[in-house]
Chains A and B, each alone.
Chain A
Amino acid sequence: MQALKADNSGFVIGPDGLQRLLEVLAGEGYRVVGPALRDDAIVYDDIDGVASLPVGWTDRQEPGRYALERREDNACFGYAVGLHSWKKFLFPPAETLWTAQRGSDGAIAVSTPERAPDKFAFIGVRSCEIHAMAVQGRVFEEGPYTDTAYAARRAGAFIVAVNCAEAGGTCFCVSMETGPRAEQGFDLALTELADGAEHWFLVEVGSEAGRAVLEQVPHVPATAEQAEAARAVSERTASGMGRGLDTQGIKDLLQDNPEHSRWDDVAERCLSCANCTMVCPTCFCSTVEEHSDLTGENAQRVRKWDSCFTMDYSYIHGGSVRSSARSRYRQWMTHKLANWIDQFGTSGCVGCGRCITWCPVGIDLTEEVAAIRAAPEEGRSR
């Protein structure tokens, strides 16, 4: 994606234009992925035109609770965020890294799977999710070792952002300064307006690739009123956040409180099930499994999503370093909100709220931080 200054005024397309946009992207060989209804939820999946979108549906998200509800309009993107983030496409849950075969002469030949990386078009990417891709990109693409498969998938992706018109019950992007309005990192950004009989999208162009695609979609320049109406959508969403997280001094707050009694309190509730890390759009941990077959002639290495909530994750000779739920939850939250800043120069949290919604027992990290902040001296270790 070539970065391009977002066009200030933007353009307007209608629902037919959105359909055309999806057709153009499919025609250009993209695997078009976007929100779809499955199993009473909005998930990101392969879509086939506007008919696949969750038209007229919204999501009700609270700690440990999720439900779909009918909207009064026909908005295509009238929900907060899907269950799984785009992570599952850029960083697949399981990926074979290499295979090895022993030849008849005993020599071992190692081969990496031939990958023609999927060329994704992501439809309906939220601002927090764009930030999440950047956060994860720092892990996989920067530093001395680049994950080339990840980098190829990300570089090849065409991103259609959609500015949020609904703040979910567990959203706190405003606190994390990651939304709700997408400022960069997209090819095209849409703002949907579905008031009454009117239904249109304001389109902002974020790259040359985006401009080239928009050229093939019937569009008109936005009027000043339309641009203002779109801006008002983001402002309304920003004022309706379901949650907030005070990030002031959060790095020191958490790093200085490893013995706070709140860690015992949360450990009593935490299941160590790892759902928070699976749904987190920035959690990047993986394990590698080595498999040999029955003949001993073939082997493969498979990379799978892993989690700091498992015992294997911190297993070293003699046992697991983090054997208690207390130490595992503390590790996850302190890394996400504090140590990540030391390690990658940014918070690991983008405020999407998934870890809150999809925790089976509804543990809310914004509440956990607030509890420590309320009595910070309690666990000061130095």
Chain B
Amino acid sequence: MARRPKLAVWKFASCDGCQLSLLDCEDELLAVAGAVEIANFPEASSAVVEGPYDLSLVEGSITTPHDAQRIQAVRAQSKFLVTIGACATAGGIQALRNFADVKDFIAAVYASPQFIDTLATSTAISAHIPVDYELHGCPINKAQLVEVISAFLAGRKPAVAAHSVCIECKQRGNVCVMVQGTPCLGPVTHAGCGAICPAYRRGCYGCYGPMETPNMPALTREWCELGADGRDIQRVLRSFNAWAEPFRQESEAHDD
């Protein structure tokens, strides 16, 4: 039997939710363990097999000088590197620091700020190293994660669409909440969640970040028509994907 590809899972600044979605696979977990050698996954096992690794899944953003170094080492020992989740692909919720002065936060939060060694920004992994594939979402969709791993094993392209949430919303049979008067980020947001929020009659929160061709000004004009003001727009865009370029630019366009 051919050698199973070695899988490593890496954590940077993040909540662990995305890598835990791998353990949350349940039905597919044994198949994953059968298809790859889980060589380095501290959340699952303390046994670590040394690199190099065939497939690395990277969760989290770069927020410290130490992590900026460490991601270089991860890249060096990974043949194929996939970033998973909004932290790794866009900087995560912690990228809110990028809009302010991190020193002010440190002074406000820590009694002994001299022990804190952090960068001024939280940035995506792709800002530091070449990335082979990005899987978006906060958190990622575990079915899409299995799809990405299956595609890697077969040497094919993952069937993960980069279009708007609206397409999967309509495929699901939902009634459009925006046309019924509820501001929604679905038209500018990357598909992948299965349009969960509109299915429960809420506007999309943009957890999967910008879709492939987002027309941000056109959407936010309509938000204003529906009664939102600049502050509402800035707040909704400054969440998990605040530092994703289209969301960042549009939120800055609504500075008072």
Q: Is the CB of A290 within 8 A of B212?
A: no
A-B contact count (CB 8 A): 131
Chain A CB within 8 A of B249 CB: no
Q: Say which one of A9-17, A182-190, A356-364 lies at the interface with B.
A: A356-364
Q: Is the CB of B167 within 8 A of A307?
A: yes
Nearest Cβ distance between residue A317 and chain B, in whole angstroms? 13
One digit per residue, 1 when the CB lies within 8 angstroms of any chain A CB and 0 when it does not, for chain B 140-165 equals: 00000011011101101001011110
Q: Is the CB of B28 within 8 A of A292?
A: no
Point out the residue from B167, B179, B184 that lies within 8 Å of A64, measured CB to CB: B179
Q: Is the CB of B174 within 8 A of A39?
A: yes
Most buried by B among A38, A273, A357, A362: A273
| Residues of chain B within 8 A of A273, CB atoms compared | 164, 166-167, 186-188
Q: With A41-B180, A274-B163, A289-B159 as given contacts, are A361 and B218 in contact (CB-CB < 8 Å)?
A: yes
- Restricting to B169-204, which residues have a CB under 8 Å from any CB of A? 170-176, 178-181, 184, 186-188, 201
Nearest Cβ distance between residue A134 and chain B, in whole angstroms? 23
Chain B CB within 8 A of A294 CB: yes
Query: What separation, in Å, do the CA atoms of A88 and B174 have in the docked complex?
Result: 12
Nearest Cβ distance between residue A177 and chain B, in whole angstroms? 27
Query: What separation, in Å, do the CA atoms of A58 and B170 have in the docked complex?
Result: 22
Chain A CB within 8 A of B213 CB: yes
Q: Is the CB of B162 within 8 A of A312?
A: yes
Q: Is the CB of A278 within 8 A of B175?
A: no
| Residues of chain A within 8 A of B161, CB atoms compared | 310, 312
Chain A CB within 8 A of B119 CB: no
One digit per residue, 1 when the CB lies within 8 angstroms of any chain B CB and 0 when it does not, for chain A 259-294 equals: 000000000111111110011000000000111111
Point out the residue from B176, B178, B186, B213 that lies within 8 Å of A83, measured CB to CB: B176
Q: Is the CB of A271 within 8 A of B219?
A: yes
Q: Is the CB of B153 within 8 A of A360?
A: no
Nearest Cβ distance between residue A99 and chain B, in whole angstroms? 15
Chain B CB within 8 A of A214 CB: no
Chain A CB within 8 A of B76 CB: no
3 interchain residue pairs of minimum CB distance: A278-B170, A273-B187, A93-B171
Interface residues of A (CB under 8 A from B): 38-41, 43, 64-67, 83-84, 88, 93-94, 268-275, 278-279, 289-296, 304-305, 307, 309-312, 325, 357-362
